[in-house]
Structure 1
Amino acid sequence: MKLSNSFSGALRTFAYFMASGTQYTLEGIDYLPLYGEEPSAIEQVFAIYANVIEIDENGNVLNAKYAEKRATDYLRSYCDPSFVVVPPYEHWEVELNEPPPLKDINS
């Protein structure tokens, strides 16, 4: 099974705005240097996004903007310790799930 077009579009859009430095929820935060200097912070952002996003039975994304906000609130708090994430993250939101195997199953 492949990911839906809706999810693919949501992820692509989020990745574009994150990588271009134009993510609207991070206005005023200089986060682009983290890509080369502290990639684990960016990894956590995408983990939160993937953990929070919800998809219905037809593959339609239900909460893209909420997933973006939860993910980018982490980065805002990482860059600005005075920023408080509300509500606080639940364990499942920040979990770093197991990576895929080093070799594809079908190769």
Structure 2
Amino acid sequence: MRPGWIIPLTAGLLFSSPGLAGPSGEEPSVEEGRKVFTELAQPGCPICHTLADAGATGAIGPDLDELAPDEAKVAAAVTNGVGIMPAFNETLTSEQIAAVARYVATVTGQ
């Protein structure tokens, strides 16, 4: 392996990690994440998940208020899917995924 791959790989990991600034240099906002959760994700998150802050009462997926996942867990689930939950990595931007991860983690107390 050549040492030159370390810097690009590290930079890519930093800019794709939830909780860190993305390519725009701005942190994702909780309000942006709420919009992704309630409006932008298709199928919509409230169809499957309960989340009091969003007025969501879905019963297919886990109750996010009870689960209280951290940003990293939400981002991984939204990006890759979990069980019957589809992956959203092709329909949401990395910024939108980071925003919804921040939102869910924030409103559930993480």
TM-score (norm 1): 0.28
TM-score (norm 2): 0.27
